[in-house]
Amino acid sequence: MTGNTTNENTIVGSSTVNFVNPTDYASFLSAGGNTQFTITFTNRGNETLTLIPKLVPTSNSLDNIDESWITISPQSATVAPGSVKKFDIEESVPIDTEIGEYKGTIAFTDDLVPGSTNYIYSTKLDISVQAQPKIELQSSYISDNVEAGKKYEYNIKMKNVAKKDITINPKLNNYNPGYLQAIGNEAIKISAPSTIKAGEVANMTISVSVPENATGSYNGYINLNVNGNENDGLSTQISLGLNVWQQPAVPFVKNFKTTTETPITIDVSYQSTLDMGLRISPKNEEPSVKLGLKLNSNPVNMTLVKSVESGYTNIGNFYPIWALENGNFYQNSFENRVDTYKVPGAIGNWELSILPKNLNNFGYSVTIGDNNFTK
């Protein structure tokens, strides 16, 4: 992506007025990329000019374009009065270039603006460089339901995809420092090597100690600070989203009333959101629900007539191939279970109780004839 600006270049106090087009040229390149464009020089004077264009630093620039990045063709030329000469410019950014705004100036003559260090017959260059990825993550996020009072450990693989060794210094941050978090940053520990060799796969371990009385959620991110850069413009952050829950001691209760003796069907559904293998401990415990049913305060037996298990499976979409265990391309993101119970119908007041275990949500439906009550 490029842009340019055209202006006339004038020697103050002289009758010679020449023209360079463009006078400014901006480009946006990824490290290892290149682009080409053309600059024209118009000789509006009365004498033939000999031009030897060169790259010179731009004043007040923190990052200067290296001479090796710029190729000018032809390297020199003569321009007769009233004629136009074209110069082909190629910008090539090395693959290991860091992110930044790089500036330089192509000067066609040594003429300076009086009282200034700026060249009159010149084109200013501005190259915005997007650095190549230096590290590839097994996953860019951890999302999990955690129970109050427990300790959790997660592992994320990292691969150095640069041609050189890199350093990392993971730091935990919050998206909104003023937001009340269920878990303090001091309860989250990060362990990772400080150096990852070129092509090497390393592990990062995140340990989370959930307070006994914690409620709510935690949202933050881990900045890897690759090679000392807080942000190199790439995906060098790991989002951390944790939903804190507490195992309920009392069941959920649903009351309903029947006016006929039509048989009753009760469906209870619950879903397991998998941690995608990132959690080391504790291992996911099997979710379950304990049901109870009463008619006019008297216990009633329910008959399980059907259980349906389903899930959603991706084929290698979540993790890069190098991070897959034992070549397992099949990756489940969640599993769902629906249990169906039948109860002989009767007239009266009913009470359905549901006590979840290792679950923080569930669904249910009660079907009485053609009436359906859901939540």
pLDDT in tens, 40-61: 999 998 999 999 999 999 877 7
Based on its alpha-carbon atoms, the radius of gyration of the chain, rounded to whole angstroms, reads 34
The residue written with tokens 């298990």 in the block is 309
Query: Do 119 and 141 have their domain in common?
Result: no
pLDDT in tens, 171-193: 999 888 778 899 999 999 999 99
Query: Do 196 and 122 have their domain in common?
Result: no
What number of H helices and E strands is found in the chain?
0, 30
Query: Do 93 and 184 have their domain in common?
Result: no
Query: Do 7 and 124 have their domain in common?
Result: yes
Query: Do 38 and 120 have their domain in common?
Result: yes
pLDDT surpasses 50 at 372: no
pLDDT in tens, 58-114: 877 789 999 999 999 999 999 999 999 999 999 999 988 888 899 999 999 999 988
pLDDT in tens, 312-327: 777 755 677 777 766 6
Query: Do 41 and 144 have their domain in common?
Result: no
CATH number, residue 110:
2.60.40.10
pLDDT surpasses 80 at 236: no
pLDDT surpasses 90 at 277: no
pLDDT surpasses 60 at 14: no
The C-alpha atoms of residue 14 and residue 40 are separated, in whole angstroms, by 21
Average pLDDT over residues 138-149: 90
**Confidence at residue 79, expressed as pLDDT on a 0 to 100 scale:** 96
Of the residues 245, 269, 296, the one at which a domain ends: 245
pLDDT in tens, 199-217: 999 999 999 999 999 999 9
Average pLDDT over residues 349-358: 95
Query: Do 29 and 75 have their domain in common?
Result: yes
> How many domains in the chain?
3
**Confidence at residue 60, expressed as pLDDT on a 0 to 100 scale:** 77
Of the residues 71, 104, 130, the one at which a domain ends: 130
Q: Give CA torsion, residues 72, 74, 76, 81, to 10 deg.
A: -120
The C-alpha atoms of residue 75 and residue 80 are separated, in whole angstroms, by 17
Of the residues 130, 153, 168, the one at which a domain ends: 130
Q: How confident is the model at residue 234 (pLDDT cuts 50, 70, 90)?
A: low
- Determine if the peptide bond prior to 282 is cis (ω within 30°): yes
The C-alpha atoms of residue 80 and residue 96 are separated, in whole angstroms, by 42
**Confidence at residue 326, expressed as pLDDT on a 0 to 100 scale:** 62
**Confidence at residue 342, expressed as pLDDT on a 0 to 100 scale:** 95
Domain enclosing residue 51, as ranges: 2-130
The C-alpha atoms of residue 180 and residue 183 are separated, in whole angstroms, by 9
